[in-house]
Structure 1
Amino acid sequence: MRLYIPENLDVDQLMYDNPPNFKKYGCKRDKLLYIIHLINALPLYNKDLMFDGFVPLNSKLLQDKISNYREYIDYLLLDLKIIETDGQYIPGFKSKGYRLVDEYNTAITSTAVTDFTFYRKLKVERNNREASVKHLDYLTKWFNDKLEIDINYVNEFLAQEFELKDNNEQLKDYDRSRKKFKEPISQLNHAKISAEKISREEYYLLHDDNVYRFHSNLTNMRSVIRNAVTYDGQKLISIDIKNSQPYLSTILLSRSFWIEQKNEPNAPKELSITFDKPKKSLFSSFNNINDNIYKVSGRINDRLNISHIKIHDTDSYIMLGDIDKALMSSEFSQYINLVVSGTLYEFLEQQFSLRLGETFANRKEVKTAVFQVLFTDNRFLGQEDAKPKKMFKEMFPYVYEVFRQLKRKDKTLLPRLLQSIESYLMINVIAKRISEEYPDAPIFTIHDSISTTEEYVDVVEAIMKEELSKAIGHAPKLAREVWCKSNMVKHLETLKEKAKVVA
């Protein structure tokens, strides 16, 4: 077990020059480094922290490992002046955030935990993660010594990328929804941590109890870095669901999804949502579109149902509202057709441009705008930045109303429901079936995609298409991507070209 700290940090010298004066338990070097490590490592598992600058440190989690953690925080903050705080604490909502001061906001290195007692405390957390994935052996077994990463190539790539971005503000990655840039040094460090962990076979495997996603070293890794990963010396090929969240959202427009299947025969319980009547759809001219689009593939009994999905224990079906029996409409079919054809993002990008004058640098920015439409709080509709959301409401008022009703009590319910659907299908249905029919096929799930070797890519794609078609009611658009180092070369070449343009 290793800790990741700034490479220019000589903690022994600092402690020698400014000795700690702890009252009761004393100051342990590894515990001090562990707190610094958390500031570097936690953003790897929560991408939002890459934008916030300050990393919240939960007092309860710290207390479990360091009983006098407050003394360590004060020592780092006030005496050694290695970290600084935002001072923002909201009981039950937000812990105080911390970040390294500029002097130590540098490239990182790793050091081993040498305190055996503290190592055992850290191991408890690892054991809990291992327990969460014990039932997913058909996924976890592939995280072995055959999973490799060219760590030297990655480090060389990261050094070149950092030099380009650090010397040119125009090359920094910008997030439209947060209106913030990612810091190149943070991207460098998080990529180094994720790559080194695979290189050392320090696997982070977790099945979360919120939306039941399977998290691993690969899900936490930047996509461009995955190109340096191989299995048993073979390239991996990912098969992705295009427009995955909109694609999965179409099942929410089907009445059959909301009929809870009971154990007792002939006793379904239908859940319904009461609609506010929206304005006439701009797509009313599409009335001739087949309302029975859900019958294109699979029997009705094969269709995914709310009963299959694990919602967090605090959620109840009644929170999902009541869906009206007049659910199907031509407008639903228009939305579904755009999604199924894989053209929703392109269509909305065109509409954003024509109606709002919005332009996008790449597909990722379009996706961010669509996610704003789907997942922001209902109250966001009144904000100046909500023009794309307002436009979507005008174009698809009934579709918008379904999503609005789902979020009326909790804005996170819609994304959590879609992620739970994704997890159920990808892990419990598709990956499970692959493991049973092709037990020698290496499979690595990355939320809405599965990666495998060239030998098995055709059968994996066929199973994905068949199971998704049955569950959702229509076939998905799938896309393949080969993980190879040439993609990393292209990435650097693109940055160099951009650097020339803005020079």
Structure 2
Amino acid sequence: MLRLLPPDLDLDRHLAAHPPTFSRFHSDELVHLLHLVSAIPATNRKMAEKLDLQLGYVHLSSTRLREWLPNYHEYLQYAVDTNLLETDNHFVVPRDGDVGKCRGYRFAARFRKGWDVPLVDGPSCRIVWLKDAAVMRRLNRVRLKQSKLTKQIRQDYSHLLEWLDPKTTPLRIRQEEALRFIAQERDRVRRDPSLRKPKRKPGPNGEVVFKDPEEQYDQRFTSVAKLVERDLNTVLDAKVGRLHTTLTNMSGKLRPFVYAEGYGQLVAIDLKNSQPFLANLLLNPSFYSPFTKGRKGGRVPLTLQKEGLKVWEEMKKRKNKHSYITLLRIVQRTGNDDIEKFREWTASGEFYTNVQQALNSQGEQVPFERDDIKVMLFEVLFSRNSTKSMAKTAFAELFPTVAKVFRTLKVKDHSILPRLLQLLEAHLFLRVITKRIHQRCPHIPLFTVHDSVVTPVEYADYVERIMKQELTKWVGQSPQFTRSFWGLTQLSKVAGVAAAIGPAVEFYSICLKLRLDGFSTQNQ
């Protein structure tokens, strides 16, 4: 079981210089605790985006720590006392609905890397391996519990989980090419800061915050490490039913290096403009009618009978219990021509292009770009009703009834709409489409990345046919798909880019291989 530590931390030497004085100490437990400070921001993008606001402190939940390490506080105190970690020593108990705060920890300054560190210094994390079997068994038990994969869930999702089992999964990654590529990417962005992409959330004063290439490198390095160890890190989001894995969390730029051993090239079959397409369900009167009649039934609302009812219950708690009656009246009104237009454009697979052309034809002074349309939809779906913007106004003028449905769903709680769309996506892809494929052809490897199904290319036509049949049946519109190929096709392009960088990347690649300390061989 691999873990990540700062490259300059020689833990054996540190323990020899500062022997722990408390009982029940085990070096592997300390390694895992330190690993959390490195790995949480490297594997959790939301956490990584908050680190700037938290001065780099990673908040560690005492409740979660206690599940696998009852005397965790002694380890943390030892790490702080011996200058391994620093703490903000700030803890807030949650009261009266207010969110609390866990204590934050970060590595001491001598172990932290910044923007000005030379490239050839290597990655800001290195691989170490846990050795104690008892510690690893305990961590696996806790991880299984925290992943929310109960016995019932493992049965419901067995058609996907069997392909994600570390012992049997065929998923692999082309390690050397992937490491060379992420080194080249970090070098490229460091040389030209204008290439840095903005984070989704602005800073405390509304300013644009850009992604740190060091941070991006660590996240990608961690994904490579996990796939080398065949750790798919499967977690079920209990709120919306989404299945999160190493594949869903990794950068899209790394996916071309992923392949399935013993099969042909992998291909991801993506639903085009998926969120607008699935939103067609919310414009269907039969989606709401069973709830207004106080009974269960009807084909479309079956998707809400278990997971979805949780969403409606929350709407009731937030004094929004009659919103579905209002929604039914809105979508049943005659003359809703914009709903039909919305359906046609989403079914064509060219929703963003059509919206862009429609808005630009109105003679706007500043033409809308395709990315502007995606930002517009993001604001329409995810922002609060009280938030005003030109993008939301433009969407409402183009689709007044659709915009009204979205606003009604977000009354009292703006998270209802995105959660509902994610819940529908998860149900259709995880419990309908892939389950039907598995029942008919259990030998077909299936992996999901939210609104796409990944399978070897030899099965792609069959998988896409089933996807089209089920989505047409449930949504009422025929979908369109795109295919993105992983593996061999893209590797030639990456190799060409790496060669253009020159000797610096080759040297860095050698450094990486040396730092891996038997990255492949120790896992045999």
Q: Give the TM-score taking structure 2 as reference length.
A: 0.77
Match of 2:286 in 1: 256
Match of 1:140 in 2: 161
Match of 1:209 in 2: 238
Residues 452-461 or 13-22, more deviating: 13-22
The amino acid that maps onto 1:174 is: P
Question: How big is each residue's C-alpha offset from its partner over 1:251-276, in whole Å with a ceiling of 9 and x where there is no partner?
Answer: 11111111227xxxxx95489xxxxx
Q: 1:167 to 1:444 in 2, by over 3 A?
A: same
Contact between 2:4 and 2:39, CA under 8 Å: does it hold in 1? yes
The amino acid that maps onto 1:2 is: L
Question: How big is each residue's C-alpha offset from its partner over 1:30-86, in whole Å with a ceiling of 9 and x where there is no partner?
Answer: 333323312332245532223222433222111222334344434444641544549
d(CA) in 2 for partners of 1:396, 1:352 = 12
What SS class does the counterpart of residue 162 from structure 1 fall into?
helix
d(CA) in 1 for partners of 2:264, 2:192 = 36
What SS class does the counterpart of residue 126 from structure 2 fall into?
strand
Q: 1:29 to 1:398 in 2, by over 3 A?
A: same
The amino acid that maps onto 2:14 is: L
Q: 1:492 to 1:73 in 2, by over 3 A?
A: farther
Match of 1:357 in 2: 366
Residues 135-144 or 317-326, more deviating: 317-326
The amino acid that maps onto 2:13 is: Q
The amino acid that maps onto 1:380 is: T
Match of 1:334 in 2: 341
Residues 421-430 or 341-350, more deviating: 341-350
* Percent identical: 29
Match of 1:113 in 2: 130
Q: 1:141 to 1:403 in 2, by over 3 A?
A: same
Contact between 2:67 and 2:142, CA under 8 Å: does it hold in 1? no
1:176, distance to aligned residue in structure 2 (A): 5.1
d(CA) in 1 for partners of 2:43, 2:240 = 15
Question: How big is each residue's C-alpha offset from its partner over 1:176-230, in whole Å with a ceiling of 9 and x where there is no partner?
Answer: 5543222212222222222222222223223331111122221122222111111
d(CA) in 1 for partners of 2:492, 2:108 = 33
1:458 aligned to 456, 461, 465, which one? 461
1:168 aligns with 2:189: no
Contact between 1:164 and 1:496, CA under 8 Å: does it hold in 2? no
The amino acid that maps onto 1:327 is: V
The amino acid that maps onto 1:109 is: R
Contact between 2:41 and 2:47, CA under 8 Å: does it hold in 1? yes
2:224 aligned to 190, 195, 212, which one? 195
What SS class does the counterpart of residue 180 from structure 1 fall into?
coil
1:151 aligns with 2:144: no
2:268 aligned to 211, 225, 238, which one? 238
The amino acid that maps onto 1:205 is: T
1:219 aligned to 248, 252, 255, which one? 248
Contact between 2:289 and 2:328, CA under 8 Å: does it hold in 1? no
1:373, distance to aligned residue in structure 2 (A): 2.1
Number of equivalences: 457
1:397 aligned to 400, 408, 415, which one? 400
1:482 aligns with 2:485: yes
d(CA) in 1 for partners of 2:215, 2:492 = 21
Contact between 1:177 and 1:368, CA under 8 Å: does it hold in 2? no
Q: 1:127 to 1:301 in 2, by over 3 A?
A: closer
Alignment of 1:351-500 (within 5 A): 355=364, 357=366, 363=371, 366-381=373-388, 386-487=389-490, 490=493
Could you tell me which runs of 5 or more consecutive residues in structure 1 were left unpaired when the two chains were aligned: 262-266, 272-299, 499-503
The amino acid that maps onto 1:171 is: L
Q: 1:347 to 1:96 in 2, by over 3 A?
A: farther
Q: 1:393 to 1:71 in 2, by over 3 A?
A: farther
Match of 1:13 in 2: 13
Q: 1:333 to 1:88 in 2, by over 3 A?
A: farther
What SS class does the counterpart of residue 246 from structure 2 fall into?
coil
Q: 1:255 to 1:165 in 2, by over 3 A?
A: same
Q: 1:44 to 1:334 in 2, by over 3 A?
A: farther
Question: How big is each residue's C-alpha offset from its partner over 1:131-152, in whole Å with a ceiling of 9 and x where there is no partner?
Answer: 4434322112223252221112
Contact between 1:174 and 1:181, CA under 8 Å: does it hold in 2? yes
Q: 1:9 to 1:367 in 2, by over 3 A?
A: farther
Contact between 2:277 and 2:347, CA under 8 Å: does it hold in 1? yes
Match of 1:289 in 2: none
Match of 1:51 in 2: 49
- RMSD between aligned residues: 3.3
Q: Give the TM-score taking structure 1 as reference length.
A: 0.80
Match of 1:126 in 2: 143
d(CA) in 1 for partners of 2:73, 2:29 = 12
Match of 1:288 in 2: none
Q: 1:270 to 1:338 in 2, by over 3 A?
A: farther
What SS class does the counterpart of residue 3 from structure 1 fall into?
strand
Match of 2:116 in 1: none
Contact between 1:237 and 1:483, CA under 8 Å: does it hold in 2? yes
Contact between 1:303 and 1:470, CA under 8 Å: does it hold in 2? no
Contact between 2:286 and 2:298, CA under 8 Å: does it hold in 1? no
Q: 1:439 to 1:494 in 2, by over 3 A?
A: same
Q: 1:307 to 1:49 in 2, by over 3 A?
A: closer
d(CA) in 1 for partners of 2:484, 2:394 = 33
Question: How big is each residue's C-alpha offset from its partner over 1:419-455, in whole Å with a ceiling of 9 and x where there is no partner?
Answer: 1100111011100110112222111111100011122
d(CA) in 1 for partners of 2:65, 2:309 = 25
